[in-house]
Structure 1
């Protein structure tokens, strides 16, 4: 078994006035040669956007971009003609493919927006850009992990162009779980959104990240009032 631990306090951090952002992996002006990616998991940005502010129109290509709001709501506009608001309890996916422009704004004037922006390197290049969002509150049950993303169009949750599976668990009670990986070539990166957990005997706190590979199953002990995101991804591009 191989592991990597990224404590919350060791993340890259930037504050641009309207944006307060923590980077698990190298991003923009934050560069750490030992923290480029975990397999095909390239970016985990933990962003807080101030009232009435946001990201202006900018371009992406050949990347699977997943947004998970934690508090508040964010307005999305893109060059495919989509205009939508995503809020806590939703998940959004955008396959940038051959190229797409989009913007993200907090249109509220009374509260900030907190969201995770996650980038996955796709297994297909130059695909037709696409956008989707769903309410994961509609498919989630407490005290267990619920699949919110997969490579399969007909599966529960959204889908992306990669052999990756995301599971989100919200635990009102202390719970022991076992996660079964889909492939021996995959690893799991756990991100503790809230609370505390013990994963393969490693104690984790809020916003800690922990990667595990070289195992078929992973043991997780989630504390009461914790929220944990598991991202299973191929370890080789």
Structure 2
């Protein structure tokens, strides 16, 4: 079963310095039909003006993933991490028992665009953690996040995985799924034909349940998708 979530139907908040589209209920946007999916709680598509950003604020018991699509994030947190996150790199911050952080646009001239993703952990408390890594733009599927951090992936406190799919030279790819698990896909760039029948554009998402395989076919020169494997 596939349930489509169109980009044009997402929640929207514009604060001047921040323009954000919410796949699931967040902040002032509330829709009881879109409260999350499995352990996936937030996908915010954020655009931040130059020299602006999120002032220091706290989180607890949440796995927070950022993927920059344009520009660079300047990150600072109460665990002592002071880092820059450029376009294409993944950041995973485990809030654990509590962490304070700020995220700013590192540029004086360019807008920052990034996906902010929250996944609920399966264990509470513990020391906060910070991980950051580039996984490049290799053709096909690249596993980015896993529960055990295997093969150089970022490690998350949940029975979940994040997989990146890039199609440039190849036309299509198929992911072998577990029909007992749930999957969510989000189109980062390009146009996707899902399961030979559903056309999806940038910002569109889809809940996937009870399928043993997921077929992706690009309908543009370049396609980038993130796939969540969820309990």
* Deviation (angstroms), 1:107: 2.5
Matched, 1:226 2:223: yes
Matched, 1:147 2:143: yes
Structure 2 equivalent of residue 192 of structure 1:
187
Matched, 1:96 2:92: no
Structure 1 equivalent of residue 158 of structure 2:
162
Structure 2 equivalent of residue 111 of structure 1:
110
Moved more, 209-218 or 164-173: 164-173
Moved more, 77-86 or 223-232: 223-232
Structure 2 equivalent of residue 14 of structure 1:
13
Moved more, 106-115 or 25-34: 106-115
Q: With the length of structure 1 as denominator, give the TM-score of the two structures.
A: 0.93
The number of equivalent residue pairs is: 229
* Deviation (angstroms), 1:184: 4.1
* Deviation (angstroms), 1:88: 0.6
**Would the aligned equivalents of 1:147 and 1:156 in 2 still touch at CA under 8 Å?**
no
Matched, 1:123 2:122: yes
Gaps of 5+ in 2: none
Cα displacement string for residues 158-178 of structure 1 (whole angstroms, at most 9, x for unaligned residues): 110011111112222352211
The runs of 4+ residues in structure 1 deviating greater than 6 Å are: none
Write the distance in 2 (CA, Å) between the matches of 1:197 and 1:147: 19
* Helix, strand or coil at the partner of 1:155: helix
* Helix, strand or coil at the partner of 2:73: strand
Write the distance in 2 (CA, Å) between the matches of 1:232 and 1:164: 5
Write the distance in 1 (CA, Å) between the matches of 2:64 and 2:212: 27
Cα displacement string for residues 131-162 of structure 1 (whole angstroms, at most 9, x for unaligned residues): 0101122xx412x1111111112334211001
Write the distance in 2 (CA, Å) between the matches of 1:52 and 1:130: 26
Moved more, 183-192 or 29-38: 183-192
Moved more, 169-178 or 94-103: 169-178
Gaps of 5+ in 1: none
Write the distance in 2 (CA, Å) between the matches of 1:157 and 1:91: 10
* Deviation (angstroms), 1:127: 2.2
Structure 2 equivalent of residue 64 of structure 1:
63
Write the distance in 1 (CA, Å) between the matches of 2:133 and 2:125: 24
**Would the aligned equivalents of 1:61 and 1:98 in 2 still touch at CA under 8 Å?**
yes
* Helix, strand or coil at the partner of 1:190: strand
Write the distance in 2 (CA, Å) between the matches of 1:154 and 1:148: 10
Root mean square deviation, CA, Å: 1.2
